Amino acid sequence: MDTMALVTMGPLLKRAQAARYGIAAFNMIDYNSARSIVEGAAALDAPIIVQVSVKTIKHWGYKAIAGWVRMLADDVDVPVALHLDHCSDADVIRRCIDAGWTSVMFDGSALPFAENRARSQEIYRMTEAAGVGLEAEIGAIGGVEDDKFVAEDAAILADYDECVAFVKDMPNLAVFAPAIGTAHGFYKGQPKIAYDLLARITAAVPIPIALHGGTGLSQEQFDRCIANGCAKVNISTMHKHRFIEGFVGVRTEKPKLEEPLPFIAGQYEAMKKDVLDMIRAFGSAGRAAHAAGLEARP
């Protein structure tokens, strides 16, 4: 396969959902992290989504992030999408689109349903005009994402009828994120995933589903979510932990080391190992050409 540069994630996710595998979406932290994500995917010939939290953009700037990910994508033979994670600010969304993001998430889940739908539709018109994919959310996913906190017991499952009504006027939505009982961060107890609700939404809505809160789910939970229509699987917390552990681990092993590059290398290896593990867990290894629409295999 020739290099493909950055692609939009909607078509990748549609193919993944039809063939029942999940495409990993990792929240990148810096260049080393983005590199571990893209090169990890390339090592397994898997499609990949590099997603970015608003606070990470505020730290590094739009141009730096878009430049890093575009450069990394240019060097590999797998489809790479650059996605904006949870964002409720239309101005940030616009700036990401202008800087070269290939998809964005509008998170209006804190708004009343009618307002969330109206705002999501406005953003949908903006993304459609720009040729960029959109992810939209309803219900409330528990835990912390960026500066938003939803207590796990205050998380609200998406309402089935609202899901159907929500996506009706957004037929080209790249991915839909209904809250199904998962949460951001490490789980305190066993998550109660509403598989029946997920299956009913997937049957009624012709749009791939995003699984938020991937950190800490078991292989069986991933399998059941993917079998029931989740095509985008988000991992952030675990990646952040590997970023820190990888660096600190080198210090523990070699307390006298003064050269910084081995720390960066240790951090890269720790993050990449997790990227490989997750891609295998989601069944997307070897699926780059399939996801890109370059393969006849169903």
Contact 164, 204 (CB under 8 A): yes
Q: Position 162: which residue type?
A: E
| Whether residue 98 lies in the annotated active site | no
Is 116 among the annotated ligand-binding positions? no
- Among 69, 32, 70, 26, CA closest to 48: 26
Tokens 């590997």 label which residue?
242
What are the structure tokens assigned to 217, written together? 């789910």
Residue 158 DSSP label:
P
Rg (CA), the chain: 18
Candidates 278, 238, 218, 205; CA nearest to 23 is: 278
**CB 113 to ligand 13P: min, Å:** 21
235 makes contact with ligand 13P (CB under 6 A):
yes
Contact characters 136-155, ligand 13P, x per CB under 6 A: ---------x----------
Q: Is 84 in the site for ligand 13P (CB under 6 A)?
A: no
Contact 82, 104 (CB under 8 A): no
What phi and psi, each to the nearest 5 degrees, are found at residue 112?
A: -60, 155
User: Which tokens go with 135?
Assistant: 């992810």
Give yes or no for residue 85 binding ligand 13P (CB under 6 A). yes
Contact region for ligand 13P (CB under 6 A) — 6-14, 210-218, 255-263, 274-282? 210-218
By CB under 6 A, name the one of 11, 100, 185, 249 that touches ligand 13P: 185
The active-site residue, picked from 45, 77, 85, 146, is 85
In whole angstroms, what is the distance from residue 279 CA to residue 298 CA? 19
Is there binding between residue 83 and ligand 13P (CB under 6 A)? no
Near ligand 13P in 53-82, by CB under 6 A: none
172 marked ligand binding residue: no
Binding site for ligand 13P (CB under 6 A): 27, 85-86, 145, 184-185, 212-215, 234-238
Binding site per annotation, positions for dihydroxyacetone phosphate? 185, 213-215, 234-237
Pick out the residues of the known binding site. Answer: 86, 107, 137, 184-185, 212-215, 234-237
Catalytic residue set: 85
